[in-house]
Amino acid sequence: MPTASRNLGKLVCDRYSEIAGRLNAMWFSGVDLDNGLPFLPMKSDEGKAYWNETSYCISFALANRELMMRRICEVIIALYFSAKSVISRKISAHLWSIIFCKIPDKKTD
């Protein structure tokens, strides 16, 4: 099930890749920007911000999946007990008819 968490992570990645590319060019880092792998030093403000936002994206994705699983389990449990109840009522009605209703014997010719 889509949760939008991938898109959020991609947006953060794209944003900081663009920032890292600009900073790498400014620092004359020698990183080939065409390969799509610019870097951010983790101790820089940008690196810390990237880490925090990425951590948030991971937490967001985990929370979404936990919520989806909880709701799926609730539906499965509700369906299970609902089905069990229907089956139980049918069995009870059948037993009631056997025990308390006079069922005519088949006559053979």
| In contact, 40 and 20? CB cutoff 8 Å | yes
This prediction has a pTM of 0.63
DSSP H or E segment with residue 80: helix 45-100
Q: What is the pLDDT of residue 56?
A: 94
| Per-residue pLDDT tens over the stretch 84-98 | 666 666 656 555 555
Give the pair of three-digit tokens for residue 99.
Answer: 């025990």
Q: Is residue 107 part of a domain?
A: no
In a domain, 105, yes or no: no
Tokens of 81: 């007990």
Query: CA 15 to CA 38: how far, in whole Å?
Result: 12
Residue 52's domain comprises 5-100
In a domain, 74, yes or no: yes
Residue 52 lies in a domain: yes
List pLDDT tens digits, range 9-59.
999 999 999 999 999 888 888 777 777 788 899 999 999 999 999 999 999
**Per mean pLDDT, which of 36-40, 64-68, 73-77 is the most reliable?**
64-68
d(CA 33, CA 24): 8
**Domain-embedded: residue 89:** yes
106 located within any domain: no
